[in-house]
Amino acid sequence: MRNFLLLLVFLVFVSCSDGAVKRLTPVADEPSEAGEEVNDENNETPDNAVIPPDENGGEGEIQDDEKPVADDEKPVTDDEIPEIPDSEEGPVNDETPETPDEEEDSEPELPDIEYPECGIAFNGSNCSAAYCHTIDDCCEGDVCVATDGCGGYKVCRSAFFKENFDSYTAGSFPPNSSGWKLKYAGQGQWYQMVTSEQYISPENSMHLLGSKNYNNSAVMTAVLPQVPDVINVEMKMITQGDNVSFSLCTFENEASGKNWGNYDMKVEFADGKLRYQIPEWTAYDILPSYEANVWYKIRLKFNKTSKTVSVWVNDELKVDKQSASFDSISIPNLCLTSDKNDKKVWFDDIFVWGE
């Protein structure tokens, strides 16, 4: 009986000890409320722990226990940029939308040009109607020039004498019917000729060459059909060097044997300058220097009544109504000259008109 009681006490003791162990020892496989597992006695890293940054500085990543993210909440990566349908507006791939170009400055509109009847000289009262940019805006043979009476406008002027040498055969002097005469032969008559070697208006100009060896100028003349009190002469010239000119000139009666002339109003390339003379032997500078082998457009305006001179070079006014002292000038001729030298000169697009 005694042994039976001892066995019963032993069984009761063992049964109580198993329950205490179960209550004090957590189950390793069950997760905690925070979603983390408790390490065992050897501190082993559980499968769902945070992995620390790698050696290259990359961030650790959360393992299996992160909450799933919905597809519409996932961040978009470079490899997953959504395509924009064609119907949607706006720039694609951050391109800057084009902006309209700034409006360019434009010239003010000019009134329609009403070209007047050819042959009628303008008196300053029809400046707008006579407005022109170039000679092409005028009647055939007229000239487009700046005028004093039109406030800076260029207007068409009816030229009573005009010559561009394009109607003649290159290699010859203009025929007698043209009105031109060769007064002095310079280097020789065969050097004074129409040529296509140089020109402004296609495709001829007039070439002259004086002679230094023979002390002889090359001079050609044309009688002007009229000599108004205010006379304008415009022409284009190109020269190899000094001592070439054009002029308003007077020649004595050839029948009397007096064939020399007076250069009453001359524009010349001389001493490295462009200058004018009135009367002869009195020179005034127009340009302090010039370039050889370059075309110059020269316009001379001579007022016999007020005794003043104006000169334009390449349409720029260089001499403005400068007073000139002289007694009387007839000026019935236009003269083109290559003086006593060995320099070639070419003339083209000559216009003479009055006011």
N- to C-terminal Cα distance for the chain? 166
Residue scoring higher pLDDT (342 or 122): 342
Contacts 24+ apart (CB under 8 A), 144-150: 145/232, 145/234, 145/299, 146/312, 146/315, 146/317, 147/122, 147/355, 148/124, 149/123, 149/124, 150/124
CA distance 313 to 273: 13
The yes-or-no verdict on residue 77 having pLDDT over 80 is no
Rounded distance between C-alpha atoms, residue 161 and residue 202, angstroms: 19
- pLDDT band for position 34 (50/70/90)? very low
Domain 161-354, architecture per CATH: Sandwich (2.60)
- 191-195-200 Cα angle (round to 5): 135
pLDDT recorded at residue 262: 77
Residue 228, helix vs strand vs coil: coil
pTM: 0.64
Which of the pair, 76 or 308, is modelled with greater confidence? 308
pLDDT at 264: 81
- The CB-side HSE value for 12 (13 A sphere, CA atoms) comes to 6
- pLDDT, residue 332, reads 85
Question: How far apart are the C-alpha atoms of 219 and 334, rounded to whole Å?
Answer: 10
Query: What is the location of CATH 2.60.120.200 in the chain?
Result: 161-354
Q: What are phi and psi of 136, to 5 degrees?
A: -65, -20
Q: What is the rounded average pLDDT of the residues 231-241?
A: 95
Task: Write the CB contacts of 302 (distance below 8 Å, at least 6 apart in sequence).
Answer: 230, 231, 232, 233, 248, 265, 278, 309, 331
pLDDT band, very low/low/confident/very high, at 138 (cuts 50, 70, 90): confident
CA distances to 121, 245, 262, 264 from 277, rounded to whole Å, are 28, 10, 11, 8
pLDDT in tens, 241-279: 999 999 998 876 554 455 566 788 899 999 999 999 887
Strand, coil or helix: 75: coil
> Which alpha helices (DSSP H) does the chain contain, by range?
2-24
Looking at residue 313, its pLDDT comes to 96
Specify whether the CB–CB gap between 302 and 247 falls below 8 A.
no
pLDDT for res 28: 45
Question: What is the rounded average pLDDT of the residues 38-59?
Answer: 48
The residue among 127 and 263 whose pLDDT is bigger is: 263
- Choose the weakest-confidence range: 57-66, 119-128, 303-312: 57-66
Q: Give the chain's mean pLDDT.
A: 74
**Count of CA atoms in the C-beta half-sphere (13 A) of 47:** 5
